[in-house]
Amino acid sequence: LGDVYKRQTVRNVIRAAYGVIGTPYVFGGTSVYGFDCSGFTQYAFARAGISLPRTADVQMYSGRQISASQLRPGDLIFFSTYEPGPSHCGIYLGNGQFIHAGSSTGVTVSSAFTGYWGARYYGACRVI
């Protein structure tokens, strides 16, 4: 029952995340009118019944720390952007992709390990 529950919860998080693709980026945003990165992850997890802290730097430590090689869909993934440490976050989808609220893109899917994000990868944690 535990694994079935976890798989369904992950599906619910990812479904909620995809449901708001295209939502604009708003600094401090926590709703379908606009999200920042951690407001987006908090929203998607809340739709699956999981409470997350509000900011990326605190969300990083809200689950079990995992390595990039251990990533599974539904894990939180973090990047160091405008300040040292985890300052951007998203939800790992598998196959090197993650969904997040980017400041220039709004809610979108991006590659986690190449280009802009690959150079800024910081770490990951498993909440589910």
Instruction: List, by residue number, the catalytic residues.
Output: 37, 88, 100
**Which residues fall within 8 angstroms of residue 115, CB to CB, at 6 or more apart?**
none
Long-range pairs for 112-117: beta carbons < 8 A, 24 or more residues apart = 112/77, 113/68, 117/79
- Residue recorded with tokens 């999981």: 50
119 token code pair: 């150079």
Q: Cα separations (Å) of 112 from 5, 14, 91, 100, 122?
A: 27, 16, 10, 10, 10
